[in-house]
Amino acid sequence: MDKKIIEAPFDSYYGVFLTMACSFSCEYCVQKISLPQQPVASYPIIPGEDWVEALNSISGRARRKFLRPTKKKKLSITGGEPTLHPDFVYILNHLDKDWRITVTSNFISPFFQKDAPGLKQIKRKRGLKFNASFHFLYTTLDKFIENVQKVKKAGLLVHTLFIVAHPAYMDKIQQCRDALLEVHPNVKLQRFLGYSQGRLYPAQEGYDIEYQQRDGIYNYKDYQAGFNQQNKQDIYCRMNKVLFAPNGDIYNCHYKLYTGHKEKLGNLFRKGLHIALPADYFLCHDYGFCNPCDSEGHSFRRLDGSEFNISA
Ligand code: SF4
Ligand code: SF4
């Protein structure tokens, strides 16, 4: 059997982007923030069997310690909208037990229509949870709640419901949050990340919300400089992420995955893959186009040697 080695800390974030296609086209989608200077990449669909075989071949996904429960590697399955992948159910059912899976979905796609037969075909119950984002500009509260209930009725764990706290709609957002809290105990507001009316959020004097989902952006000055999608400059960057693009290309940066950048670490589907995540700072020429998905706890070192962190 093929064995793939990815040298990275056990707690590195692992994310699989099954498809960049989405059932919505949110104008604030963080994946499109680099437009128009850098277009979003177009990727093919890879069959579920290939994903399962490759992901199950990655070694070191369980950490066994004497007299302690075995730790399993966490895997985030996302997109785009991951339920649009034609083999979505197959992938969930066949990824082995050394993966602890979180699916992030908008809960609105053909997969959830009518009595959602695909949900009942998901046999995996342990080591699987769903998080969902409610996009009230693109669907109704009733439809979203109906689909939350369908997922629960299928015996699947719904963990957190998120609402993006778009600064232009705060009254509506608070109403939606109250309504969702009546059907689910865990509802979180996320700060809006990206541009609205020409302004990059979050900003120092931004709107004042009590947000429940940490985005780790407290150093607004450097966030505004590094994530504004205007000018590129060299910097040393440190990243602890393993991100699989829909074609299996491996990145440690969301901006590079979203734009299909040439600087990738390898491809998951290559036999005998053996790669190492840079353990320390590495030189990047694209600072200025960093994606807000990479803001939390992010450390940088300028060429003059000074260091800063977006969270401090
Ligand atoms: S649902 Fe999410 S991935 Fe899809 S367009 Fe909206 S923000 Fe982007
Ligand atoms: S500096 Fe920005 S664009 Fe470059 S790798 Fe780091 S996060 Fe990505």
- 312 residues of the chain, pLDDT tens digit each: 899 999 999 999 999 999 999 999 998 999 999 998 999 999 999 999 999 999 999 999 999 888 788 899 999 999 999 999 999 999 999 999 999 999 999 999 999 999 999 999 999 999 999 999 999 999 999 999 999 999 999 999 999 999 998 988 989 999 999 999 999 999 999 888 888 888 888 887 766 666 666 777 888 899 999 999 999 999 999 999 999 999 999 999 999 999 999 999 999 999 999 999 999 999 999 999 999 999 888 899 999 999 999 988
Could you tell me which of 269, 164, 256, 267 has the C-alpha nearest to residue 209?
Answer: 164
Q: The whole model's pTM is what? A: 0.95
Spatial separation of the C-alpha atoms in residues 135 and 193, rounded to whole Å: 14
Residue nearest to atom 6 of ligand 1 (CA): 26
Distance 84 CA to ligand 1 centre (A): 12
Of all atoms in ligand 2, which is nearest to the CA of residue 291? 7
Residue among 256, 258, 287 to mutate when testing ligand 2 (max atoms within 8 A of CB): 287
CB within 8 A of 312, min separation 6: which ones? 218, 219
Task: Answer yes or no: are the C-beta atoms of 131 and 159 closer than 8 Å.
Answer: yes
Query: Strand pairing partners for 186?
Result: none
User: Does residue 257 line the site of ligand 2, with CB under 6 A?
Assistant: no
Distance 193 CA to ligand 2 centre (A): 17
Residue range 89-148, pLDDT digits in tens: 999 999 999 999 999 999 999 999 999 999 999 999 999 999 999 999 999 999 999 999
Domains in the chain, ordered, with CATH?
A: 5-217+241-280 (3.20.20.70)
Instruction: Quickly list DSSP for 217-272.
Output: ---HHHHHHHSSSS--EEEEE---EEEE-TTSEEES-HHHHHHT-S---EETTSTT
Distance 78 CA to ligand 2 centre (A): 20
Residue 13 DSSP label: E
Residue range 144-164, pLDDT digits in tens: 999 999 999 999 999 999 999
Distance 218 CA to ligand 2 centre (A): 18
For residue 122 the two structure tokens come to 């998901």
Spatial separation of the C-alpha atoms in residues 105 and 211, rounded to whole Å: 20
For residue 145 the two structure tokens come to 């709640």
User: Does residue 290 line the site of ligand 2, with CB under 6 A?
Assistant: yes
